[in-house]
């Protein structure tokens, strides 16, 4: 049988779960800051984890944050010692190289943009020139076809006239042959 829980027990369990969630968020934020090599501060952790300042100073949380800060401080000390052994001229050289690299990257981007614009303009001009040439070709073809059509229409008209004349000549020849045949028949019938 399931026992019913009292409201106080339900509330206590909810508060404990909320506390565990907040503490795990604090630990996760500290680990993220360390991994990103960003400074770990109590206020920064509280803000990033969206918890109260009281919680980051609570037992268990404070020790974890302080340990992360100590690790970062030791790493910074090691970096300082390592950079102290590097000659100052190299540091200046490194900064100058970084500035040159940044300037060269910006110039490369600017040149790429200029090339893109120039290519676009060339494509537009080539397209327009090609279209003009194509229009000229089509106009010449159209004129040639119109001339051919006019010539063929004239030829057609002449041939039609010749055909009509040939029909007329044929009809006249048939009529003449019929008259000759009749005349021959009448003369041979009288003899």
pLDDT digits (tens, 9 = 90+) for 129-183: 677 788 888 899 999 999 999 999 999 999 999 999 999 999 999 999 999 999 8
Q: Residue 61 pLDDT more than 80?
A: yes
Residue 32 resides in a domain: yes
Q: Say how many domains are in the chain.
A: 1
Residues 6+ apart with CB under 8 A from 8: none
Residue 131 resides in a domain: no
Q: What is the CA radius of gyration of the chain?
A: 53
Q: Residue 52 pLDDT more than 70?
A: yes
Residue 41 resides in a domain: yes
Residue 51 resides in a domain: yes
Residue 11 resides in a domain: yes
Tell me how far apart the alpha carbons of residues 183 and 88 are, in angstroms, rounded to a whole number. Answer: 139
Per-residue pLDDT averaged across 69-82, rounded? 73
Residue 26 resides in a domain: yes
Residue 144 resides in a domain: no
- Answer whether 72's CB lies under 8 Å from 39's CB: yes
Q: Residue 125 pLDDT more than 60?
A: yes
Q: Report CA dihedral (147, 153, 159, 162) to the nearest 10 degrees.
A: -110
**Structural domain of 52:** 7-85
DSSP character at residue 39? P
């Amino acid at each position: 049988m399931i026992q019913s829980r009292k409201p106080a027990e339900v509330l206590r369990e909810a508060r404990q779960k909320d506390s565990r969630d907040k503490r795990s968020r604090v630990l996760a934020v500290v680990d993220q800051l360390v991994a990103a090599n960003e400074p770990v501060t109590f206020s920064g952790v509280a803000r990033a984890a969206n918890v109260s300042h009281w919680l980051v100073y609570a037992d268990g949380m404070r020790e974890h944050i302080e340990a992360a800060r100590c690790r970062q401080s030791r790493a910074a000390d090691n970096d300082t010692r390592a950079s102290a052994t590097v000659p100052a001229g190299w540091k200046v050289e490194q900064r100058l190289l970084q500035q040159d690299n940044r300037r060269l990257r910006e110039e490369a981007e600017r040149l790429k943009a200029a090339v893109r614009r120039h290519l676009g303009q060339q494509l537009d001009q080539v397209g327009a020139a090609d279209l003009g040439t194509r229009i000229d070709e089509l106009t010449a073809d159209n004129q040639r076809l119109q001339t051919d059509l006019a010539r063929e229409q004239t030829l057609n008209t002449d041939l039609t006239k010749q055909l009509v004349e040939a029909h007329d000549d044929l009809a006249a020849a048939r009529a003449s042959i019929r008259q000759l045949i009749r005349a021959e028949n009448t003369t041979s019938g009288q003899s």
